Each structure stands twice: as structure tokens, then as C-alpha cells.
Structure 1
Amino acid sequence: MQRKLWILYLLTASLSFAQVNDGALNTAINQYNQGKYSEATESLRNILLDSDKANLQGDAYFWLGKVYVTTLELVQAEKNLEYFLQNFPNNTNYPEGIYQKGRLLFFQKEYAKAINVLTDFINKYPDSSLISNGHFWLGECFYETGHWEEAMTAYQVVIQQYPKSFKFEAAKYRVTLISLKRREEELLKLIKWSHEENLESLEEFQKREVEYRNAIKDYQNKLAILQSKNLENQLVDISDNLKSQEDQNRALQARIDNLEAENKALRTQLNSKDANIQDMTIQNNDDIQKLKALIDLKERVLKLKEFYYVELLQEGVQVDGQ
């Protein structure tokens, strides 16, 4: 009888001890759920410091890691989660511990590692209540690294397979952002392509402009040389023309001089002839007068002869030779 009472006492004491321990852990969990992270941290540390609560150490380390992940105290979160995962693989919170490690790596921007951890969580624990969250955070890792297709696939799993998930609206929002990102990328590519094309066109234009300016400069130089040569040729031609004109002028001047000499001689001759003509005129006038006198005399003689001839006829005298 006493033995049975002793066994009953031990069972009651163990149950009471477990209830006390469960009460301390529940208090910490409630504090966490209420957002009282400092109080929850203190309660969990008290559990770890209490040697009578050794059976709750695994849970305490897990929740401490979870609290630190939530408050983004990443160094402390990493220490507690790693200790939990390495030392309490049989703890019921172990699957969520892997999930929280994936989130922690995401916050630490270790995206490649986070993808591996979250993928391992999804593959190993497809029935976990956090499976939709696992897909969401996997999508977040791809989103942050610019892998839009992979991110879209992860978010679509949440939207299509877990419409009641806490992450449903967040996943829909991310899908919308990815669509906008795609459009933005296409627009940026178009702008970049247009900009590069414009740059190529500008460079080609500048190149052609330089070539054009060089061609103009070369043409101007050649033109200057040609003009210089033409000027020299023109000067030579002008010089030759001037020499020819001077020769012609000298010939004309000589001819003029000859003509003037001839003219002078002619004038001299003319003056001399005019004098002769005057002398001849005077002589001719005298001869004419004399001739006229002779003619008058002859006429008188003829008239006289005629008179006598008529008289002789009347008198019957024949004249010889008539």
C-alpha cells in the first residue's frame, strides 16, 4: 500500500513538474505571439538557466532563435538556431527550425544558401503548416536576385495551391511587381537599344563630320595651291601679253612716225606743187589772153575776109581756090 502511494506521489510530482515547465514555455510563447519580444527573450533565457527545465532547452533555443529572427538580431538568431539544429534533431520544432534558418539566411542576404535550405525544407516537409511560407520565401530569394521566372513560379504555387495562406496576398503583390519589372526591363532594354543606336548614329555622324571637315580642308588646300598656280600662270600670261602689247605699240609708233614723216613730205610737196600751180596759172592766164586776142583777131580777119568775098562775088570777080 505504501509502495503504491509512493509511486502515485512520484507520478503526481512529475506531472506537476512538467506542468510548471510547460507553463514557463507557454508564457514565453504567448509573450512572443503578443509581440512582447523582450519579455519572451527573458522568459526563454530563464528556462535555459534553470537546471530543472533541462527537458525544455531544445524548445527554448528554438524560440530564442525565432525571436531573434523576428527582431532581426541576426547574429544571436544564427547562434541559437544553429545550436538547436545541431543538438536537437528529434525536437518537434526541428522542421520549423530549418524554415527559420532559411528566413535567417534571406535576411543575411545569403540568397543562394537560403534557396538551398528552403528547397530542402519544402522537399522534406511537404505537409508542414509552413509549406506555403516556404514557397513564398523561396520566391523572395529569387526575386531579390532578379530571377523573375523562378520567383513567379514560387509565388504562383502559393496563389494556386494555398489560397488561404497568410502569404497569399503578399504573393499576389509580388506577381504584380514582377509583371511591372518585366515591363520595366523591356522598356529599359528598348531605351538602351535606342540609346545605343543613337550613340552609334551619333558616332557615325561625328565620324562622317570629321571626314567631311577633313575633306573640305584638303579641298581648300588643293584649291589654294591651284589658285596659286593659276595666279602664277595668269601673271606669266599677263606678262607675255604686256610684252606683246609693248611690241605692237612700238610697231604702231614706228608706223605713226613713218606716216607723220610721209605726211610731212607730202605737205612739203603739196606746198611746192601749190606754188607751181600758181605759177602755171599765171602763165596760162597770159597765154589765154594772148590766145583770146588771136582768136578775136582771127575772127575779125575772117569777118573781114568774108566781107570782101561777098563783095567780090557781087562784082563778078572769081576768087581762086574758092
Structure 2
Amino acid sequence: MDAPAFGPVHQIDAGVLNVGYVDIGPANGQPVVLLHGWPYDIHSYADVAPALGASGYRVIVPHLRGFGTTRFLSDTATRNGQQSALAVDTIELMDALGIESAIIAGFDWGARSANVVAALWPRRCTALVSVSGYLIGNQAANAEPLPPSAELSWWYQFYFATERGKAGYAKYRDDFAKLIWRTASPSWSFDDATFERSAASLDNPDHVDIVIHNYRWRLGLAPGEPRYDGLEQQLATSPPITVPTITLEGDANGAPHPDPGAYAKKFTGQYKHRSLSGGVGHNLPQEAPESFIEAIKEAGNIR
């Protein structure tokens, strides 16, 4: 049985991209921007977005650069996956849609982008919902070695540092993504139709380049773009996040993630943390949509 459709997907020019996005709910509703991770796509929010739209929110769910129907406007644009570039994409999409401020939420890459927006442009972020908490990084910190067990969990980052890894990801993209889904969410019994619905978004001409650059940039093995240097210098200070925030963590997250106690002090505004039980893994909004919806509504009402 095919997984249900999620859409329609609209297209809009925003910054260096033509962005594919879903827009659900009343046009005058409280804006919510939902950002997906890797190797996932907008369907992580296929249950969350319609429910929020039915509750009166205007929900925007974009395909990140390198995913789905999002494309670069120029063939010569750098296929850049660094953290500040993805966050700027979010701001430029909001500008293109005429959204001044929104509740911004995400997991994995999407949580990092949401963190960056909240830290650097707090007036654009009404509230934040972040799976796995504070994920802003910098190349200097990433250069520090971790204990072997922690390094093991990042095996794919080191694989992607090699040309063999890049070729392997290009050749076995779906197999690779399914392996990550299973290891990051060991208790999630997704079916083939659910996986294939999202895997289609990885068949993007820029996908491999964006993913490889993202992980190589983190390790200092690939340069960023000079236009983002100032932003990265600010992010290297691990700036606090002052906007109202709720962080979430599942009890069965098999992906690398920090302990909630390690990042609580980075959120200096109104802040709450929720730990979810019952085998909830890395793709929290798709595995526990009700809890994610509740967090969005609560974060937007924190005063």
C-alpha cells in the first residue's frame, strides 16, 4: 500500500534557490516553519503539518537544499552544506513568503538550522522546538577527538571524508539511507512505502554534493563560502539562544546526540525539556507526531 501524499508542493525563488515547500493552514495563521533532517525529507512532518494547519497555524515545510524539488538557480553556485548556509536558506524563504517571524522547529540538520536562526536572528524566531537540543557547532570544536565509542557513532562522517565514501553514497543512496533510518531509530517499524516516499527526495541532482560538503566542512576538510564567514565566526562562540524554547529527546535515539544536561544552559530564555519514552528514535516528529505537535503549541504560548 502506498503511503499517502503530502502536499501540494509549491515552488518559490528564495536567495540562491528555487525552493519546494508545502504550505498548509490559513494564510493569516501563526506561522510555523518545520525543517527536516538527513537522510529524511518533508514527509517527516506528514502527520504534524496537517494537524497544526487544522488547528489554525500556517505551516511551511521546505525541502532543504539538495532534497526533493529544491534546486539552485545557478548551475555555477557552490553546492554548500555548511550550517550557516542552510540557516540563511530559512531566512530567505521566510522573506520570499512575507513571513516576519515564525515558530521554527526541526530535528537533525533541521534542528541545527533552527538553532542558528534562533541564535543569530531571534526577532525572526517566535519560539523554537529543537530535537536533541543545542546543535550549533564549529570546525575548531569538531577537530577535537572524541572517545572511541563516540567516534564509532560518527562512522559515516569519516566515510564521507573519502572519495570512496562519496562514490559509495552516490551508488547506494537508498541502501545507505535505510541503514541510517534503522540505526537512528531502532524501535521504529517503518514500512517500505514510508521509506520510499522519502527516499524519492534524495534523488536530487545536488544531493550527494550537499551531503558530502556538509560532513567534510564540519571536519575542516572542505572550505565554506566567504559570504558566510562572519556568521560562522559568531556561531563559533556558541551563542546563547534567548527565544522561548522546548527541546525534545526520544529514549531510543540511535544517532549521535548530546545529553540534555549538557546544553540546558545554552537556552537563556523561557525553556523546557521533554524526554519521550516508548522507543522514540531520531526522526521524532514522524515517530511521535502528537508529542511534537504539543511542543509546537506549547512553545508558541510560552511567555
| TM-score normalised by the chain length of structure 1 | 0.22
Question: Relative to total residues, which structure has the larger strand share, 1 or 2?
Answer: 2
Question: Relative to total residues, which structure has the larger helix share, 1 or 2?
Answer: 1
Flag the structure with larger Rg: 1
Structure number with the bigger relative contact order (C-alpha 8 A, sep ≥ 6) is 2
